[in-house]
C-alpha cells in the first residue's frame, strides 16, 4: 500500500528518557515523522487533536490513566493503529494481550535493563512495527460461522489424528487470528506447533489465553515436548523452535537465539524443520503478518507434498506474509481463520479417499 508523505507517529509514555530516545531513533527514518511525545493520555489527547497521527505508541503503565483504559477510549473515538509498549512483568503481559483484544495492532516489550542502548534497539524494532501498523486494516467484522462450519471430530469421520501434523505461523494481527482458528477446532485435532512473532515473556500469557478459548490444551512449548493430538504448542519468544523425530515420536526443540528473517522465533525455521517429515501428512498454515517470514518455508512444504493454506486478504490485519506466499505459489487454499479448521478436515478426508482408491485400484 502506497502512502502520501511520512507516517505520523505519536509516542505516549510517562518516562522522559524513553520518549527522548524513541523520538531520536525513529526520527532517523525518513518515512517516519514523530509529531510529539506525551507523558500521559491527557497530553496525548491534545496532540491527537492537533496532529492526527497515523500510528500511536502507547505505554501501558502510566499515571492518571493507564494505557489500556486510554486505548479503549481511542478505539471508540479515534480508531488509529496502536502499538502497545509494555514492561515484561506478568501483569503487563496480561494487559498487553487484553489491549490486542481491544484493538491494538501489536505489542513490544520495554527493556528492563540495558539503559539507552536497549532503548535504541527498541526504537529500531518499533520502526518495523510502525511500518506494519501504518498499513494495518481495522479488525474485520466477525463473519458468522454456521454450526456446520465447526468440524466434526477426526475419529467420527474415520481419520486418525496421530497421522497428521499442523504447523502455523503468524505475525501482526496473528494473536486474534490464531485465537479464532483454535476456537473452531475439535478436541481431537492433530498436534499443532505454532510460531507467533511476539516478545519473550509474553508467549506464556498468550498460550494460557488461547487455552481458554480452545478445546485443545494450549501451552507455551517446553524443550522436548511431544507433539500429540489434542494439544497445541506455542513457541517461546526469543528462541528458534523446530520439530525433530526420534523414538517414534515427534518433539519440539529449541535452538539458536539468532534471528531468521529478522525474527526469533521464525516461521520459516518451524516450517523447514518438517519439510522432510516422513510418516505424517503435514498441513502448513500461514496467517496475517507483515513481511515474508514463512512464505518460502510454506513453498518448500508444498513442494514436499504438504497441504498449504493461507489466510485470505479480507480477514487479514496485514496482508503481507500470506500475500508473498500466494505470489510465489506456496498457497493451495485460502480462507478466514474461522473456516480453516473445516477446510483442513475436508482436505485430509480427500487425501485419505484418494489413497484408499489408489490402494484398491
* CB contact at 8 A, 139 and 172: no
CATH code for the domain of 25: 3.40.50.2300
Looking at residue 357, what is its pLDDT? Answer: 53
Pairing state between β 249-254 and 241-246:
antiparallel
How many structural domains compose the chain? 2
What's the rounded Cα separation, in Å, for the pair 270 and 294? 8
Looking at residue 153, what is its pLDDT? Answer: 86
Q: Per-residue confidence at 148, pLDDT binned at 50, 70, 90? A: very low
Same domain, 64 and 192: no
Same domain, 192 and 118: no
Looking at residue 286, what is its pLDDT? Answer: 98
- Cross-strand bridge partners of residue 233: 193, 219
Inform me whether the pLDDT recorded for 143 exceeds 70. no
Structural domain boundaries, residue 350: 149-360
Q: Per-residue confidence at 10, pLDDT binned at 50, 70, 90? A: very high
Inform me whether the pLDDT recorded for 151 exceeds 70. no
Inside any domain, residue 270: yes
Q: Mean pLDDT, to the nearest integer, of 305-314?
A: 96
Looking at residue 136, what is its pLDDT? Answer: 87
Looking at residue 147, what is its pLDDT? Answer: 46
Same domain, 190 and 338: yes
* CB contact at 8 A, 217 and 211: yes
What's the rounded Cα separation, in Å, for the pair 41 and 336? 35
Looking at residue 321, what is its pLDDT? Answer: 97
6-15, 62-71, 91-100, 240-249 — which is least confidently predicted?
91-100
Q: Per-residue confidence at 248, pLDDT binned at 50, 70, 90? A: confident
Same domain, 178 and 236: yes
* pLDDT tens digit sequence for 319-356: 999 999 999 999 999 999 999 999 999 999 988 666 65
Q: Per-residue confidence at 145, pLDDT binned at 50, 70, 90? A: low
Inside any domain, residue 11: yes
Same domain, 77 and 21: yes
Q: Mean pLDDT, to the nearest integer, of 219-238?
A: 97
The larger pLDDT score, comparing residue 152 to residue 69, is at: 69
Q: Per-residue confidence at 95, pLDDT binned at 50, 70, 90? A: confident
The larger pLDDT score, comparing residue 300 to residue 128, is at: 300
Domain-terminating residue out of 87, 106, 134: 134
Pairing state between β 281-286 and 307-311:
parallel
Domain-terminating residue out of 77, 106, 134: 134
What values do phi and psi take at 142, rounded to 5?
-65, 130
Same domain, 336 and 234: yes
Q: Per-residue confidence at 1, pLDDT binned at 50, 70, 90? A: very low
Q: Mean pLDDT, to the nearest integer, of 212-240?
A: 97
Q: Mean pLDDT, to the nearest integer, of 256-260?
A: 95
Lookup: cell for 152: 466434526
Inside any domain, residue 142: no
The larger pLDDT score, comparing residue 135 to residue 218, is at: 218
Q: Is 153 helix (H, G, I), strand (E, B) or coil?
A: coil
Q: Per-residue confidence at 96, pLDDT binned at 50, 70, 90? A: confident
> Catalytic residue positions?
171, 197, 293
Inside any domain, residue 114: yes
* CB contact at 8 A, 131 and 3: no
Percent of the chain with pLDDT over 70: 91
Same domain, 154 and 118: no
SS (H, E, C) 276-289: CCCCCEEEEEECCE
Neighbours of 170 (CB within 10 A): 30
Same domain, 109 and 153: no
Same domain, 121 and 199: no
* pLDDT tens digit sequence for 263-280: 999 999 999 999 998 778
What's the rounded Cα separation, in Å, for the pair 268 and 40? 39
Same domain, 66 and 180: no
What's the rounded Cα separation, in Å, for the pair 253 and 340? 26
Inform me whether the pLDDT recorded for 251 exceeds 90. yes
Inside any domain, residue 312: yes
| Strand residues in the chain grouped as ranges (E) | 7-12, 32-38, 55-59, 82-86, 106-109, 164-170, 192-196, 217-220, 231-234, 241-246, 249-254, 281-286, 307-311, 333-335
Inform me whether the pLDDT recorded for 141 exceeds 70. no
CATH code for the domain of 303: 3.40.50.180
Q: Mean pLDDT, to the nearest integer, of 192-196?
A: 98
Q: Where are the alpha helices (DSSP H) in the chain?
A: 16-26, 41-51, 67-77, 90-101, 115-134, 174-182, 203-213, 267-273, 295-303, 321-327, 340-360
Inside any domain, residue 67: yes
Amino acid at each position: 500500500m502506497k502512502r502520501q508523505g511520512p507516517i505520523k507517529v505519536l509516542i505516549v509514555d510517562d518516562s522522559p528518557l524513553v520518549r527522548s530516545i524513541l523520538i531520536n531513533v525513529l526520527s532517523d527514518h525518513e518515512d517516519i515523522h514523530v509529531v510529539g511525545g506525551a507523558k500521559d493520555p491527557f497530553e496525548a489527547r491534545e496532540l491527537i487533536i492537533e496532529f492526527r497521527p497515523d500510528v500511536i505508541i502507547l505505554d501501558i503503565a502510566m499515571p492518571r490513566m493507564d494505557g489500556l483504559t486510554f486505548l479503549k477510549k481511542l478505539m471508540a473515538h479515534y480508531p488509529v493503529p496502536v502499538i502497545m509498549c509494555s514492561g515484561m512483568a506478568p501483569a503487563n503481559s496480561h494487559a498487553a494481550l487484553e489491549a490486542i483484544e481491544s484493538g491494538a495492532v501489536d505489542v513490544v516489550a520495554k527493556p528492563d535493563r540495558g539503559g539507552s542502548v536497549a532503548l535504541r534497539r527498541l526504537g529500531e524494532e518499533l520502526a518495523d512495527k510502525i511500518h506494519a501498523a501504518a498499513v494495518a486494516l481495522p479488525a474485520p467484522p466477525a463473519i458468522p460461522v454456521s454450526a456446520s462450519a465447526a468440524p466434526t471430530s477426526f475419529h467420527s469421520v474415520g481419520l486418525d489424528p496421530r497421522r497428521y501434523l499442523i504447523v502455523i505461523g503468524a505475525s501482526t494481527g496473528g494473536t486474534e487470528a490464531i485465537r479464532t482458528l483454535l476456537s473452531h477446532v475439535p478436541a481431537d485435532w492433530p498436534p499443532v506447533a505454532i510460531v507467533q512473532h511476539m516478545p519473550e515473556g509474553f508467549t506464556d500469557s498468550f498460550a494460557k489465553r488461547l487455552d481458554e478459548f480452545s478445546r485443545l490444551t494450549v501451552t507455551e512449548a517446553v524443550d522436548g515436548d511431544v507433539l500429540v493430538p489434542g494439544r497445541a504448542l506455542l513457541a517461546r519468544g526469543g528462541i528458534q523452535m523446530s520439530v525433530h523425530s526420534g523414538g517414534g515420536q515427534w518433539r519440539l526443540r529449541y535452538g539458536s537465539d539468532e534471528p531468521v528473517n529478522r525474527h526469533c522465533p521464525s516461521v520459516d525455521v518451524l516450517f523447514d524443520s518438517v519439510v522432510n517429515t516422513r510418516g505424517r501428512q503435514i498441513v502448513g498454515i500461514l496467517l496475517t503478518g507483515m513481511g515474508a517470514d514463512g512464505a518460502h518455508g510454506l513453498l518448500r512444504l508444498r513442494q514436499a507434498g504438504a497441504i498449504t493454506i493461507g489466510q485470505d486478504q479480507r480477514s487479514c490485519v496485514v496482508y503481507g506474509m500470506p500475500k508473498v506466499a500466494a505470489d510465489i505459489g506456496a498457497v493451495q487454499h485460502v480462507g478466514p481463520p474461522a473456516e480453516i479448521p473445516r477446510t483442513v478436515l475436508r482436505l485430509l478426508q480427500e487425501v485419505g479417499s484418494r489413497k484408499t482408491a489408489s490402494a484398491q485400484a
